[in-house]
Structure formats: structure tokens, C-alpha cells
Amino acid sequence: MRINDCTTLERDGGIAIITVDSPPVNSLSVAVRKGVAEAMMQAAGDSAVAAVVLICGGRTFFAGADITEFGKPVIEPDLRALQQIVEDMPKPVIAAIHGAALGGGLELALVAHGRIAVPSAQCGLPEVRLGLMPGAGGTQRLPRVVGAARALEMMTSGDPISAAEAARLGLLDRIADEGALRDEAVAFARAVAADGAPLARIRDRPLVVEQGLFDAFREANGRKFRGLMAPESIIRSVEQGIALPFPQALENERALFCALLEGAQSAALRHVFFAQRQAAKVDAISADTPIRPIIRVGVVGAGTMGGGIAMNFANVGLPVTIVETRQEALDRGLRIIRRNYENSAKKGKLTAEQVAQRMACLTGSLALEDLADCDLVIEAVFEQLDVKQELFRRLDLIAKPSAIVATNTSYLDIDRIAEVTGRPENVLGLHFFSPANVMRLLEIVKAAKTDLSVLATAVALAKKIGKIGVVVGNCYGFVGNRMLAARHAQAEAVVTEGALPWDVDRVIRDFGFAMGPFEMRDLVGLDVGWNRATSSGATVREMLNEMGRHGQKTGGGYYDYDEKRQPTPSPIAEQAVLDFSERHGGQRRIVSDEEIRDRVLLAMVNEGAKILDEGIAQRSSDIDLVWINGYGWPAYRGGPMYWADTVGLPVIRDKLKALHATHGEVFRLSPLIERLVAQGKDFASL
């Protein structure tokens, strides 16, 4: 029987089966809630029904509350009213899970009287990633099942767990054969009904918490939770719930949830959620743009970057040939990859078998000719145009005609690289971020002649290897490094005028970045892109490099580092700054924290606006993703363009104009900002 557009109610003997099919992910929209509530009520009133199975069609069980409904008036029944109906059913309800039971979806399953899932299913409460917390009993019921400590971990990380682990923790009662979920759920429901025991409700279980858990958990995760509001609300909800009767504990949870929902962090993180889904939608690519099969990948260069890039493909079972010029470098590269995998295994993230499988995907070679049968070749060699051009000339002769040839350049003009080949349509930039096996960003750079099928293939491949692929245009530094250059220019300028590097780093860290610009330079290496032959003390960075201070790897750069790589401001670097200022900056002055913040961040926003105006990025949220996933912009501030919108473009425009008047051309206002302000619009409106 059809209950509504997305819900059906059927009978299999004495078992009622409620099926919800609401693409794409069965989120608990108003229609879904209404359908399930109505079907439950009918099943409750039908004396021939002994038990109920709640199951979903499509690719997944309920993936949570419908995020698009947040901030709009709630239409009854809300999720909690629906849960009440299910939990108070006079007959057992069994949740049958495939795909993922996430957020409100898992919370709904937690009010059922039994849970069964297929082995490939996952369970999780990922609300924290949206700056939220479970708001429908998750903070009260999950700890009663898996224990408070494990529940805190799951809810504050947002990471889902596998069906096997969920079964081990008691979150699932049974595992069904893949493909036999419905039948086995019906059998389970029959068994529970036949048993006739009082219905098991999680709310009736005791909540046992070990002494000192909450403070210990806060302390252990202080760094991870820095700046974020949701994790503390989650901890508080569990902690305060202990002393409260269950209904009040739910009310308390709800109040904490609503406060987060109305806050700026959740708004920003929801923006990021939708930005990620938007990024895969590229204007020029349509559903019928062909995607080329990528069966075998080649990587040129077994250094840190090449090795990290290769790991991404081995992780998903794609064979990779890595080419180096010298045996020693090749061996070293492969050794480092193995060590990375083994470290993951030590942390329990991989089994020994998985390490072996991944290593088996990798073949080392000293001959470029071995890349002849690759469908995609990515070069990660020295960042110098003539070196890359020479390599591309050779690759063009070796790679099969249909192969895509990509460069991992960070700054170079990809058209100049493509033009030396006879296949510029098959050339693009795939700009990975270091460490390439960890960082989620992939800038997919479209050059002038890049074929759309090549672009579409790269977008699909990014998803396959778990990257956030953002399509950008070809210009100096693309999106990320071009804005980074604008940031560095201001970071250096304020230091020349009177601030010290650690002042800048502190201000940027206080804003929410994990590290400041100078700390980042020390980490990356001051000598990246530095040339000893042409170095002339023209910047503080050149001066430090000339002294052999290349950053963390040499024990010092802007900071000095101890054996544990703990930084302290370096007196040598400070002297270099003072000497440089004397030569170039004139009288040093006090630069306020506010000025540092404005100059560094607004220079980025202004550059971002120019990037948008030039069509280098398709939408402002793509720029946000680049900065969040590649450079550590705090996600809870939504990215530089989103942040600018929240500050208000008229304010940004006025400040940029004032900076232009004082500091000149570098702050020339982007015409786009001027236009948007005149039209009363913001970046998000584009």
C-alpha cells in the first residue's frame, strides 16, 4: 500500500514492512517523516501485524535530518515526534540498514527495538562536521549502547563505523547477508515477536560513566577541538544527561543543539558541506561528456610529492608505475611509501594484507618507456619550466595517444607545457598538496586546449581517490598559491614595517588557522623556490636562506626548533628582520593585531575576487574549498570568500579602499567587489 510519494507499507505474513524511497539519500524530510509516522500508526492499529521492519530503498538507509530544512519552520511531525511513535510502538520495530545510517537516521534506528545491517553498511553521528551535535537523542542513546567513551569519540569525530564494529559494540543486533537484508530483517522481526519478551528500549538501559572521563577527554582533545563549539556541546550533553531524568536529558540536548544550529559556525560548516557537492558540478561538463577509463597510472618522480601521489591510486587498487632517474632515488621513494603504509598499519588503520595489496600495486622503473601503456601520467619533477617541457616532449613520444598527461606544477604556465606536445588537448594540471597522500585538495587545472572529456575524467578520478577536486583556470599559482602569494606579500610587508613574524603567526592562529604564514614557511622549507645563484638578500627569506636557515629541516628558519620540533622565536631571524627593515622600511612602528589581520586576510579576499572576476574559479565556494582543504583556513569560518560575505562586502570594500590609499597598488580594489556592493549583492549570489 502506498502511504505517500516516498513511503509504502506491505505485509509479509504477520510482519509489516515500511519502505522509504526518497532519493538521493533518504534524508528525513517532512514527507519521509509523515510517511513513516502514518505507516507506523497503521501497523500499530492492525491486529494482524506482529512486528514491523523499517527499511529504505535506493542507495542508503536514512542519511540524517534533511539539511536543507534547517533554519526553516519545522513541519510536524518533527523527528523527535516520529521517534516517540516508533519507540512507543506496542510491537517490535526492526531497523534494516544498508548504505549508511547517519545522524538523525541512526538516531531513528536507535529508537527501534532491534537493528540489522548488511556487512557494507556504516553507522555514524556526523553532525559535528556540520558544526552541530546529535539533536534527536543521539547523545543519550548512543552512550547507553557503546559506552560513553566510545560514543564521545564517535560523536566528536563524526567518523562512521563499519557494520562489523557496530555489531561488536552492540549497536547492531545482527548482520545480514549482502542482498538478503529484507528477508533476514523479516526473519529477525518474526523471531523477536515470537519471543514475546518485553520490548527492549535503549532509553531504559543505565548510563555508566567511568570517573573523570569528561575532563580526561577534553584534555586529550584540546588541540583538535580548538576554536570549535560543537565538540564541547556534545561532551556537555552527555555529562549533564547523567544527572537528569531521560526526558529532561533529551530537552537539554535539544537546547544545546538549537544553540549550535543558530550559530555562525554551523552556518559556515553547512556552507562547506554544500560547497563540496557543488564543486563537482563544472559548468562546461554535462552528463554526456565522456569519461575516459583510467586503468593504469604513471607517476614521474619518486620524491615526497611523486610518492604521495602514487599512494592515492594504490589506495584504490589502481596499478601505478613510478619512474625515477636513479635506482637509489627510486628505492628510497618506494621505501618511504612502504614506511607510510606500515605506520598506518601500526595505528590500526590498515591490515598487513592491505599494506601488501597496496605495495603490490606499485612498480618502480628507471625507464620512461615503461609508461607506454598508462592511461594517465602525472609528472612530479623539479619545478622549472624547461625541465618540465623537456619531460613532456619525451612523454609525448612514449605515452599512448589517448593518454592524459598531467603536470603537478604549483605555479608554472600549463599552456607552455602543453604546447611542446602534439596533444595539448590531453594535457592538464593536477595540483596535489603536500603530503599528497593526506591532503584532500586537488586543484584540477584546465589549460587553454584541455579537452572536456579530460577534465571530466579528472573530476571523476578525484572523487574515486577521495580528493576534493576543484576545477580552476590556468594562471600564476592558480587559485591557492596565487592567493597565498598575496598573503605572503602582506605578511612580509607588516614585518618590514614593524611587526615580528611571531606576531603575524599569533594573529593568524587566533583567527583559527593551525599555523601562521611564517610557521608554515618553516615547515615547507624556506628554500622551496629559492635559488642560491640569484639570491641577493632582497627579502628576509633570502637572508635566512643565505645563512643556511632553511626552516624546520635545518633546525631553524624564522624560529629555532628543538629535537621535538618545538619552535621558539629566533633572535637571529629577529635581527635579520631589523636589519632588513633598516635598509628597506625606514622607521619601524607598532603594527596592531587588527591591522595585521586586515592586511593579511583582506589581501587574500581581494585576490580571490579578482580570480573570480577573471573566471579562474567558477564560484566563490570553490575558492573557499581550496583554502580550507589545501591551506588550513578554519572550516568553521567557511573559507575566505564566505567569511568576507559574513563581514559584509561594504565593510570589506571600505577597508580595502583605505588600505589602497595607504599602501598603494597591491590593494587596488577588485572591480567585482565594487560592482557587488553597488548591486547590494555578495559573493554567494554569483
* CB of 281 or CB of 565, closer to ligand 3HC: 281
Angle at 567 between CA 562 and CA 569, to 5 degrees: 120
What is the rounded distance in angstroms from the CA atom of residue 161 to the CA atom of residue 214?
Answer: 22
* CB of 165 or CB of 546, closer to ligand 3HC: 165
- Bridge partners of 141, per DSSP, are none
Sole window of 24-32, 361-369, 531-539, 651-659 interacting with ligand 3HC (rule: CB under 6 A):
24-32
Locate 555 and state its grid cell: 633546525
The answer to the question of residue 103 lying near ligand 3HC (CB under 6 A) is yes
In the complex, minimum distance from the CB of residue 102 to ligand 3HC, in angstroms, rounded to a whole number? 4
The answer to the question of residue 68 lying near ligand 3HC (CB under 6 A) is yes
For the segment 277-306, give every residue that binds ligand 3HC (CB under 6 A): 277
Locate 584 and state its grid cell: 628597506
In the complex, minimum distance from the CB of residue 156 to ligand 3HC, in angstroms, rounded to a whole number? 14
What is the rounded distance in angstroms from the CA atom of residue 596 to the CA atom of residue 570?
Answer: 20
Q: What is the CA radius of gyration of the chain?
A: 28
In the complex, minimum distance from the CB of residue 418 to ligand 3HC, in angstroms, rounded to a whole number? 31
- State the distance between the two ends of the chain, measured CA to CA, in whole angstroms: 45
The answer to the question of residue 72 lying near ligand 3HC (CB under 6 A) is no
The answer to the question of residue 253 lying near ligand 3HC (CB under 6 A) is no
The answer to the question of residue 505 lying near ligand 3HC (CB under 6 A) is no
Number of H-type helices and E-type strands within the chain: 27, 20
In the complex, minimum distance from the CB of residue 128 to ligand 3HC, in angstroms, rounded to a whole number? 9
For residue 490, give Cα distances in angstroms to 493, 495, 537, 603, 648.
Answer: 5, 8, 18, 7, 22
Sole window of 63-71, 301-309, 340-348, 369-377 interacting with ligand 3HC (rule: CB under 6 A):
63-71
Report the residue count for the chain: 686
In the complex, minimum distance from the CB of residue 106 to ligand 3HC, in angstroms, rounded to a whole number? 8
What is the rounded distance in angstroms from the CA atom of residue 346 to the CA atom of residue 3?
Answer: 51
Sole window of 128-136, 172-180, 537-545, 618-626 interacting with ligand 3HC (rule: CB under 6 A):
128-136
Sole window of 101-109, 233-241, 598-606, 657-665 interacting with ligand 3HC (rule: CB under 6 A):
101-109
- Classify residue 668 by its DSSP letter: P
Q: Is 582 a catalytic residue?
A: no
* CB of 6 or CB of 676, closer to ligand 3HC: 6
| 418 conformational bin, left if phi > 0, alpha if psi -120 to 50, beta if neither | alpha
The answer to the question of residue 131 lying near ligand 3HC (CB under 6 A) is no
For residue 160, give Cα distances in angstroms to 87, 120, 164, 261.
Answer: 24, 12, 12, 21
The answer to the question of residue 64 lying near ligand 3HC (CB under 6 A) is yes
The answer to the question of residue 628 lying near ligand 3HC (CB under 6 A) is no
Nearest partner of 522 among 554, 563, 480, 489, judged by Cα: 554
- Classify residue 686 by its DSSP letter: -
Catalytic residue chosen out of the listed positions 87, 127, 184, 542: 127
Locate 643 and state its grid cell: 567569511
CB contact set of 32 (below 8 Å; sequence gap of 6+): 6, 7, 20, 22, 26, 62, 66
Nearest partner of 292 among 68, 491, 459, judged by Cα: 459
* CB of 19 or CB of 83, closer to ligand 3HC: 83
In the complex, minimum distance from the CB of residue 104 to ligand 3HC, in angstroms, rounded to a whole number? 3
The answer to the question of residue 265 lying near ligand 3HC (CB under 6 A) is no
Sign of CA dihedral 350, 355, 357, 362: positive
* CB of 130 or CB of 189, closer to ligand 3HC: 130
For the segment 104-123, give every residue that binds ligand 3HC (CB under 6 A): 104, 107
Nearest partner of 529 among 480, 486, 477, 466, judged by Cα: 477
What is the rounded distance in angstroms from the CA atom of residue 462 to the CA atom of residue 441?
Answer: 9
Locate 223 and state its grid cell: 588541540
In the complex, minimum distance from the CB of residue 202 to ligand 3HC, in angstroms, rounded to a whole number? 15
The answer to the question of residue 100 lying near ligand 3HC (CB under 6 A) is yes
Locate 379 and state its grid cell: 609528472
The answer to the question of residue 556 lying near ligand 3HC (CB under 6 A) is no
Which of 92, 126, 480, 630 lies at the binding interface for ligand 3HC (CB under 6 A)?
126
Q: Is 184 a catalytic residue?
A: no
The answer to the question of residue 522 lying near ligand 3HC (CB under 6 A) is no
Amino acid 596 reads I
The answer to the question of residue 135 lying near ligand 3HC (CB under 6 A) is yes
Catalytic residue chosen out of the listed positions 87, 107, 253, 443: 107
The answer to the question of residue 63 lying near ligand 3HC (CB under 6 A) is yes
* CB of 101 or CB of 404, closer to ligand 3HC: 101
Which of 40, 43, 65, 337 lies at the binding interface for ligand 3HC (CB under 6 A)?
65
* CB of 104 or CB of 307, closer to ligand 3HC: 104
Amino acid 65 reads A
For the segment 141-180, give every residue that binds ligand 3HC (CB under 6 A): none
For residue 226, give Cα distances in angstroms to 220, 557, 634.
Answer: 12, 26, 10
Which of 127, 522, 542, 624 lies at the binding interface for ligand 3HC (CB under 6 A)?
127
* CB of 6 or CB of 659, closer to ligand 3HC: 6
Which of 6, 130, 267, 475 lies at the binding interface for ligand 3HC (CB under 6 A)?
130
CB contact set of 638 (below 8 Å; sequence gap of 6+): 267, 268, 269, 271, 272, 624, 646
Residue count at the site for ligand 3HC (CB under 6 A)?
Answer: 25
The answer to the question of residue 234 lying near ligand 3HC (CB under 6 A) is no
Locate 205 and state its grid cell: 538501559
The answer to the question of residue 66 lying near ligand 3HC (CB under 6 A) is yes
Q: What is the DSSP string of 63-118?
A: -SB-GGGTTSPP-SS-HHHHHHHHHT-SS-EEEEE-SEEETHHHHHHTTSSEEEE-
The answer to the question of residue 67 lying near ligand 3HC (CB under 6 A) is yes
In the complex, minimum distance from the CB of residue 252 to ligand 3HC, in angstroms, rounded to a whole number? 15
Q: Residue written as cell 566563490? A: 620
* CB of 136 or CB of 299, closer to ligand 3HC: 136
Q: Residue written as cell 547523567? A: 242
In the complex, which residues of this chain contact ligand 3HC (CB under 6 A)?
Answer: 24-25, 27, 60, 63-68, 79, 100, 102-104, 107, 126-127, 130, 132, 134-136, 138, 277
Catalytic residues, by residue number, are: 107, 127
